[in-house]
Amino acid sequence: MSSTTLDFTGQKVIVIGGTSGMGQAVARHVLDAGGTAVVTGRTQSRADQAVTNLSAHGQVAGLGADLTDPTAVDRLRTTLTKEHADATLLVNAAGVFAPKPFLEHTAADYDRYQDLNRAFFFLTQTVAANMIERGAKGSIVTIGSMWAHQAIAAT
């Protein structure tokens, strides 16, 4: 089996949820392949820790934002436009996982998932608008992983 390594020289990736797991792995891969990265996390301290973890691999910035808080999402959108409008890649990798039976989920659980989806929608809209305004080509990817670990009976 052969391995293909992409060249990300001159590319900037924004990784929503880039402070751990798959998101941080994506950021590391882009950095190792010559690109730069902006990672977001629920708090600035998580973002700062990710920058510490990734900085040996290349140029990386960290932004803290609670994606369930519309005001924080609006601030993040403004920052992405003012400071990172040159991004060519967006990876939505943030997630929540409440491992309990389907019938035990509450309205608060539902709201949390919906708030995250709302954030993804508007952050994607912001990055896409920045790409369009610059006439830049780019890629937007949304990934998830945790639900792969829990089967839901009677689905």
Please tell me the distance from the alpha carbon of residue 132 to that of residue 146, in angstroms, as a whole number.
32
State the average pLDDT over residues 28-47.
98
Please tell me the distance from the alpha carbon of residue 16 to that of residue 119, in angstroms, as a whole number.
10
CA 63 to chain centre: 11
Q: What percent of the chain has pLDDT over 70?
A: 90
For residues 35 and 8, the answer to whether their CB atoms sit within 8 Å is yes
Task: Report the CATH number at residue 108.
Answer: 3.40.50.720
> Is 4 inside any structural domain?
no
Answer with the residue of higher pLDDT: 99 or 124. 124
Count CA within 13 A, CB hemisphere, residue 130.
25
> Is 6 inside any structural domain?
no
> Is 22 inside any structural domain?
yes
Domains: count for the chain:
1
Count CA within 13 A, CB hemisphere, residue 96.
18
Specify the DSSP class assigned to residue 42. S
Predicted pLDDT of residue 116: 93
State the average pLDDT over residues 11-39.
97
> Is 106 inside any structural domain?
yes
State yes or no: pLDDT of 108 exceeds 80.
yes
Predicted pLDDT of residue 1: 45
Rg for the chain, CA atoms, rounded: 16
pLDDT band at 155 (very low <50, low <70, confident <90, very high): very low
> Is 101 inside any structural domain?
yes
Counted residue by residue, the chain has a size of: 155
pLDDT band at 97 (very low <50, low <70, confident <90, very high): confident
> Is 3 inside any structural domain?
no
State the average pLDDT over residues 95-99.
77
Predicted pLDDT of residue 154: 44
> Is 2 inside any structural domain?
no
Please tell me the distance from the alpha carbon of residue 68 to that of residue 74, in angstroms, as a whole number.
11
Please tell me the distance from the alpha carbon of residue 130 to that of residue 148, in angstroms, as a whole number.
33
State yes or no: pLDDT of 24 exceeds 90.
yes
* pTM recorded for the entire structure: 0.88
State the average pLDDT over residues 52-59.
98
